[in-house]
């Protein structure tokens, strides 16, 4: 079964779409969020709120980009999606903090690495803090606008 068909994943997709709409004032997708987000051509990822957050969601485009299946991706600490380089990790941490403070940031670009070690640059990325209507934070998500192989 495709991951978006699981009730907990479908519910999280609604939260992703709703929080994006509230923060950015525009829709993330058209239609039912679970299937619409899964089939977006742009990679979409989200991690939880832990001290070393683990991915909670990756759509089909993201899984292909990172060369992982759902089970592997959703066990991966999100910091491992970026190159293991001090500058890249520092830049990533700055981005996450900025999104926590403002609620969202756009225009981000950075270097990421797939499961096979292939590096690529993401650009025109929107990162937002995933919150419910009561303001409870559930994680952060990123919609990647452009990918360039390195």
Structural domain boundaries of the chain?
A: 3-149
**pLDDT attached to residue 1:** 79
Cβ contact 56:78 at 8 Å:
no
Instruction: Tell me the pairing of strands 55-58 and 146-149.
Output: unpaired
**pLDDT attached to residue 71:** 97
Nearest to 70 by CA among 82, 88, 87, 58: 58
Which pTM was predicted?
A: 0.93
- Stretches where the chain sits below pLDDT 50 are none
**pLDDT attached to residue 94:** 82
**pLDDT tens digit sequence for 102-133:** 889 998 888 899 999 999 999 999 999 999 99
Cα–Cα–Cα angle for 36, 39, 44, nearest 5°? 90
CATH number of 3-149: 3.30.450.20
**pLDDT attached to residue 8:** 96
Task: State which H helix or E strand residue 66 sits in.
Answer: helix 60-66
């Amino acid at each position: 079964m495709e991951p978006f068909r699981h009730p907990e994943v479908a519910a999280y997709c609604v939260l992703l779409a709703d929080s994006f709409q509230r923060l950015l004032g525009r829709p993330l997708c058209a239609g039912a969020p679970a299937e619409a987000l899964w089939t977006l051509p742009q990679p979409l990822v989200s991690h939880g709120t832990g001290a070393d957050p683990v991915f909670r969601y990756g759509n089909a485009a993201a899984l292909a980009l990172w060369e992982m299946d759902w089970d592997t991706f959703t066990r991966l600490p999100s910091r491992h999606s970026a190159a293991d380089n001090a500058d890249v990790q520092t830049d990533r941490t700055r981005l996450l903090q900025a999104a926590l403070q403002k609620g969202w940031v756009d225009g981000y670009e950075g270097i990421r690495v797939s499961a096979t070690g292939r590096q690529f640059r993401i650009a025109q990325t929107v990162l937002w803090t995933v919150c419910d209507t009561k303001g409870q934070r559930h994680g952060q998500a990123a919609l990647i606008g452009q990918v360039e192989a390195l």
